[in-house]
Every structure is written in C-alpha cells, then in structure tokens.
C-alpha cells in the first residue's frame, strides 16, 4: 500500500529518498514521485507511473534540495498514471503533498474548490488537500495544514513541503502510520520503519490526531488542535540487514527459512520452568484478572485471523476458557455485544491494518479490555491496546505472511499456557507444553529439510486449476491458512473446508482433476480423518497428506515431526508454505508482490 519518505538535512536528497522508496516497494504500489525544495527557492518535482527505478531514471542529475518528500502510490482514486502519482502540487506550485489513506469527503471538497475556480490536474483525493493548504490564509505552514486537515473526513498520513517555508516538513497522522526518524542535524519521516533503519534507529511514532514539524535541527509534535505533545524517541531493534534478501531469491523464501530463529526469539526469556508457566511482561493482566475472564474473542484479518483461530483452540484446550476468532473486518460492522467479562485480542503483523484498528477503537469506546498480539513494535494497534504480546518475528517484507503467522501461533501458545496455569492446567501439563515449545525450532528446521521433495510436488500441482484443503478441528485453521497462501502467491483457486463437512456438499467437487491437501495429525481424530481420505479416494480424487506418518490412502504424504497435540498446528502448515512458494515459482509469479495485494492494508 502507499508509502511515504521524507528528509530534511544536508545530504544529497534524491538518492536518499529513492533508496527509501525502494525499501517500501514491498508494500505494493503502481507509481512513484519525489519533490524537493530547491536551494534557490521554489519546488521541483518528478513523478512516474511504474517502478521506483523508472522514477529514478527520470530524476535529473542536478536535483538538489534542502528538504524533500517522496511517495509510492497504490491507486484508490484514479488509475495509476504520472498525473495521479504523488506528490501533488498546488496551482501556484508552492505546496507539495504526499498522502496515504483515503479522504472520504473528497468529492464534496473538490466540487466546492472547482466552484471557486480551482483547476484539478489529477483524479486523486489527495489533490484536494494540496489546494486546501495552498489556499489557507494562515501565517504558518503548521496552521495552514491544521486548517486543511480539519476540513477532511477520512484517513491520512501526510507530509507537506511549502516553498515559502523551505526549512521544514510538516506531517500529520489520522489512521495511516507516520514515523519520524531522529538523526544528528537531520530528520526523516516515513510511513514504515523499513525506510528509516539504514539511517537511524531512533524513532517517534505519531498518534492519530497528531502532527509534527521537522527541521534539520529538531522536531516537535502537537495535536491538530495545536496543543504540544511530548514524544520521546524509542530505539528500534530491527537491523537494516533484516530488509536484505541475504542470499535468497525472494523474501518469501528467506522468511520461510527464518522461522526456527524467529520462534526462538518469541520464546526467549519468557519460559518459567520453576512454575511451569510463562512470563508475558506486557500483558498488564494480573492472575486475579486472568481468572475473571469468561470468554476470549480474537480479531484479525487474513493470515492473522487464521493464527487467531489456532490461538482460540489453544486457549480453549489449555485454559478451558470459551474462545473464538472472527475477522476484524466483519466484527467492526456488526454492532457486536461487547461484554465486560470477555478478553478481546487483536492480532496483526503490521499493527496498522485499518479494519483491526477500527475494531480495537470500537471496543475501547465500549469499555472493553483489548490485548494486542502484534509484530511491529510501537505500531498503532500495539499502542491502542491495553497490553499484549510482541511476536518478535522480525521485519516481514514479503507481502505474503509466513514467519509472522508461525510466531503468532507460538505467541498464542504462550498466552494459552499462561492463562491455563492461572486456572486448572496442571504442573505436568505445563511442563509438557513447555517441552513441546522448546522442540519447535529444531522441528521447523527438520521440516525445511524436505524442501526438495516439496518442490517436486509443486511441479505436479502447478497444473491444477483448483485445489481443496481439508482439516478437522486443529487441522482446519491450518487448511485455511494453507489455502490462502496458495491462492495469493500462485493465483490457483483454492478452497478450505472442515473435513467433517465434506459429505455436506464439497464431495460433489471431487474428481481426478481436483487435488485435495489433507491435514492429518496423529491425534484423537486420526481415524475420522482417514475416513475422509477414503471417501476422496473412492471418488478418484488425488490426495496430498500432511501427516505425522505415511497415509495409505494418500497419493503422497509429507511427514512432519510430531509435537504435543495442542502445538501440532504450529508446524503442520510449514510444508504448505513451501508448496505455495514452489508452485508460484513454477508458474513464474511475482512472489514477493502478488498482484492486487499490499503488505499492510491501512485503508478500508
């Protein structure tokens, strides 16, 4: 989704901003642009449809500036084109704006401005904002921006340059991330830490309704009402190297292979052997409060929702608290009953997904307690939550989530164990789960050793027009996630069903041309799952099983190491990440940036 980078300081601005844009490419975009305040006055701007390298080719050698803003656009209002790319300039060419988000009342504002004689050069909602800022009669750039954003309904993260105020960049946030990077006699701004970490690890994340002024020497933050706010920079731990491919051909491949280390990180320092439980420092939930929880409701989107489904089962199994997961995108619109005895948990890799954030805000408004299970430290969902667990997967660059899914399921196992041990879970079961958690990194590495075998299988499946994924109870969320992975990265249609529901409809689909991937753990439902395989085989369906032992009825079985029953779902999807990856590779897909998708969905 759209990306913003800005810089003010003494360095050569264009290469720095272009490098920042390149680091945001993973979010998905269709055009890019850059504007700087020229040393001799006025603004200079270049925009290009297509990739950042196409923009780079258009930027003249002498494109110097004292401050600059740049943008990658993901089309919402108006098709991808040079004109619709950001920045947008005002008619007098004094104001340049880059914007992430959506202005809901853009058409009304546009009509009003057109009636006043303003000519629009693009179809975007952002251009409205540019003209509003330029037409403000306020004396300072801060006041001009403040007046303009007050007229706007919708979401925004913006960075603004003004030719009459060349010593500053003014930024504002409402619903779209804005992060300041604090340097020595230089300041940065971006919509994503990825664009900053090569330059500084000192960051300040703006809250909704907050603005900031950046000069080369300093920064200050304040609300859109003008009240000063205090913002202490925090140090981010993510290394710039985490954003490199490190010898892999794609980020997806790299991130799949990072999973053992990532799981090691989410466990580190949290296990308490003495009491057979875990310490979750940021939970802000004491034992008495934990015991008062009557229900758990987990909210997330896409892959995070699937991780939440696994989490809900673990919480039910280990803590015996009724729990379920629901897409946050649905929950926020259905006027759900908000219950004071329910613990709500928001799950998000980016911590910025708009639907999840909106659900959290709605819950908070209604007095609920919300925890966040989040990857990006300091992200909006992490900050809006009352407490939570960081999943420490490290930066996930591929649009398609893999390592963060795995780490999120491990984080849920920790939470389930913690809640269980404040209730009825025995010391022996606590020990058993802890031992299982400790085995995970090694077992992940063992699964990844089967990559060549899975690659071979993928060649067979690349011809399929459609695939069915089935699983029962613990296996069902695994099947759902594997089906999502395959469709988003290979574009092969895939459908996930509870194996128990086969007879109630989907069996009609079974024929040799529709392969079925079945999740078959060695648990109390093994025989039931075997019966489902028989049913498919009897109808000449082709079966790939992911199981703890060879399955006679399957054409092929990928055998994965057995862990504790409750923890098996953490591992069983990993071979299917590889299957999705190698199928997409065989089909020549753009693996790290599948069509039409964006890494963090900060708009509705």
Q: List residues near ligand F6R by CB under 6 A.
A: 301-304, 348-350, 353, 356, 400-401, 488, 600-601
CA 62 to chain centre: 37
Question: Helices 302-319 and 475-490: crossing angle, nearest 10°?
Answer: 170
**Minimal distance, residue 5 CB to ligand F6R, in Å:** 20
Neighbouring CB atoms inside 10 A of 474's CB total 22
**Minimal distance, residue 190 CB to ligand F6R, in Å:** 17
Burial zone of 185 (CB within 10 Å; 0-12 exposed, 13-18 middle, 19+ buried):
exposed
Neighbouring CB atoms inside 10 A of 552's CB total 11
Question: Helices 141-150 and 126-135: crossing angle, nearest 10°?
Answer: 130
Residue nearest to ligand F6R (CB): 302
CA 231 to chain centre: 25
Comparing CA positions, the residue from 72, 403, 362, 427 lying closest to residue 255 is 403
**Minimal distance, residue 412 CB to ligand F6R, in Å:** 14
> Residue 66 or 353: which CB sits closer to ligand F6R?
353
The two three-digit tokens of residue 433, written as one number: 């789960």
**Minimal distance, residue 382 CB to ligand F6R, in Å:** 11
What is the Cα–Cα distance from 284 to 546, expressed in whole angstroms? 38
> Residue 317 or 488: which CB sits closer to ligand F6R?
488
- Find out whether 363 and 385 touch, Cβ atoms under 8 Å: no
What is the Cα–Cα distance from 102 to 105, expressed in whole angstroms? 9
**Minimal distance, residue 66 CB to ligand F6R, in Å:** 35
- Find out whether 163 and 37 touch, Cβ atoms under 8 Å: yes
DSSP 151: T
Q: Is the bond into 87 cis (omega within 30 degrees of 0)?
A: yes
**Minimal distance, residue 304 CB to ligand F6R, in Å:** 4
> Residue 402 or 422: which CB sits closer to ligand F6R?
402
Active site residue 599: yes
- Which of 2, 301, 398, 404 is catalytic? The answer is 2
**Minimal distance, residue 322 CB to ligand F6R, in Å:** 24
Comparing CA positions, the residue from 302, 150, 568, 552 lying closest to residue 560 is 568
**Minimal distance, residue 178 CB to ligand F6R, in Å:** 17
> Residue 7 or 243: which CB sits closer to ligand F6R?
243
Instruction: Count CA atoms closer than 13 A to 375's CA, side-chain side.
Output: 28
- Find out whether 214 and 222 touch, Cβ atoms under 8 Å: no
Pairing of strands 493-498, 516-520: unpaired
Active site residue 49: no
What is the Cα–Cα distance from 404 to 601, expressed in whole angstroms? 16
**Minimal distance, residue 579 CB to ligand F6R, in Å:** 14
> Residue 302 or 388: which CB sits closer to ligand F6R?
302
> Residue 384 or 523: which CB sits closer to ligand F6R?
384
Q: In residues, how long is the chain?
A: 604
Q: Which residues pair with 326 in a beta bridge?
A: 299
> Residue 24 or 356: which CB sits closer to ligand F6R?
356
- Which of 47, 487, 553, 599 is catalytic? The answer is 599
CB neighbours of 245 closer than 8 A, spacing ≥ 6? 251, 254
∠ CA 204-207-213, nearest 5°, is 60
> Residue 389 or 601: which CB sits closer to ligand F6R?
601
Instruction: Count CA atoms closer than 13 A to 131's CA, side-chain side.
Output: 21
The two three-digit tokens of residue 228, written as one number: 């000063």
Which positions are annotated as active-site residues?
Answer: 2, 599
């Amino acid at each position: 989704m759209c990306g913003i980078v800005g810089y003010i300081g003494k360095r050569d601005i264009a290469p720095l901003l272009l490098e920042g844009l390149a680091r945001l490419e993973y979010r998905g975009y269709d055009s890019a642009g850059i504007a700087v305040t020229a040393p001799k006055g006025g603004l200079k701007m270049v925009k290009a449809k297509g990739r950042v390298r196409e923009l780079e080719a258009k930027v003249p050698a002498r494109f110097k500036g004292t401050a600059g803003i740049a943008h990658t656009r993901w089309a919402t209002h108006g098709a991808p084109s040079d004109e619709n790319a950001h920045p947008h300039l005002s008619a007098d060419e004094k104001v340049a704006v880059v914007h992430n988000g959506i202005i809901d009342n853009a058409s009304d504002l546009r009509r009003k401005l057109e009636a006043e004689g303003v000519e629009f050069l693009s179809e975007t909602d952002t251009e409205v904002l540019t003209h509003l800022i330029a037409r403000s009669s306020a004396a300072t750039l801060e006041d001009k921006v403040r007046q303009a954003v007050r007229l706007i309904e919708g979401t925004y993260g913006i960075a603004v340059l003004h030719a009459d105020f060349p010593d500053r960049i003014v930024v504002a946030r409402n619903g779209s991330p804005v992060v300041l990077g604090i340097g020595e006699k230089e300041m940065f701004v971006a919509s994503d830490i990825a664009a900053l970490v090569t330059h500084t690890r000192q960051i300040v994340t703006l809250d909704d309704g907050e603005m900031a002024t950046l000069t080369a020497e300093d920064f200050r933050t304040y609300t859109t009402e003008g009240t000063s706010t205090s913002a202490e920079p925090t140090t981010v731990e993510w290394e710039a190297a985490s954003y490199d491919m490190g010898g892999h051909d794609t980020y997806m491949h790299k991130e799949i292979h990072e999973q053992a280390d990532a799981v090691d990180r989410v466990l580190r320092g949290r296990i308490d052997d003495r009491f057979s439980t875990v310490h979750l420092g940021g939970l802000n939930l004491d034992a008495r409060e934990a015991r008062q929880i009557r229900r758990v409701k987990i909210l997330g989107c896409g892959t995070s929702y699937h991780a939440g489904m696994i989490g809900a089962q673990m919480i039910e199994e280990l803590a015996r608290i009724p729990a379920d997961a629901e897409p946050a995108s649905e929950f926020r619109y259905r006027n759900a009953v908000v219950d004071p005895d329910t613990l709500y948990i928001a799950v998000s890799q980016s911590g910025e997904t708009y639907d999840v954030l909106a659900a959290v805000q709605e819950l908070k408004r209604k007095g609920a307690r919300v925890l966040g299970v989040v990857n990006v430290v300091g992200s909006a969902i992490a900050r809006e939550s009352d407490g939570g667990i960081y999943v420490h997967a490290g930066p996930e660059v591929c649009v398609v989530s893999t390592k963060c899914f795995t780490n999120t399921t491990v984080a849920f196992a920790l939470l389930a164990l913690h809640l269980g041990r404040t209730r009825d879970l025995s010391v022996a079961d606590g020990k058993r789960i802890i031992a299982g958690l400790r085995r995970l990194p090694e077992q992940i590495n063992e699964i990844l050793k089967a990559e060549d075998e899975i690659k071979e299988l993928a060649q067979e499946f690349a011809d399929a027009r459609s695939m069915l994924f089935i699983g029962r109870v613990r296996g069902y969320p695994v099947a759902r996630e594997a089906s999502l992975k395959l469709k988003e990265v290979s574009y092969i249609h895939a459908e996930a069903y509870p194996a128990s529901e086969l007879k109630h409809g989907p069996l009609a689909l079974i024929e040799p041309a529709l392969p079925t991937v079945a999740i078959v753990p060695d648990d109390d439902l093994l025989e039931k799952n075997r019966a489902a395989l028989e049913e498919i085989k009897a109808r000449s369906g082709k079966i790939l099983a992911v199981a703890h032992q060879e399955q006679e009825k399957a054409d092929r079985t990928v055998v994965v190491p057995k862990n504790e029953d409750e923890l098996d779902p953490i591992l069983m999807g990993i071979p299917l990440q590889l299957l999705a990856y190698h199928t997409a590779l065989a089909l020549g897909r753009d693996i790290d940036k599948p069509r039409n998708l964006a890494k963090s969905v900060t708009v509705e």
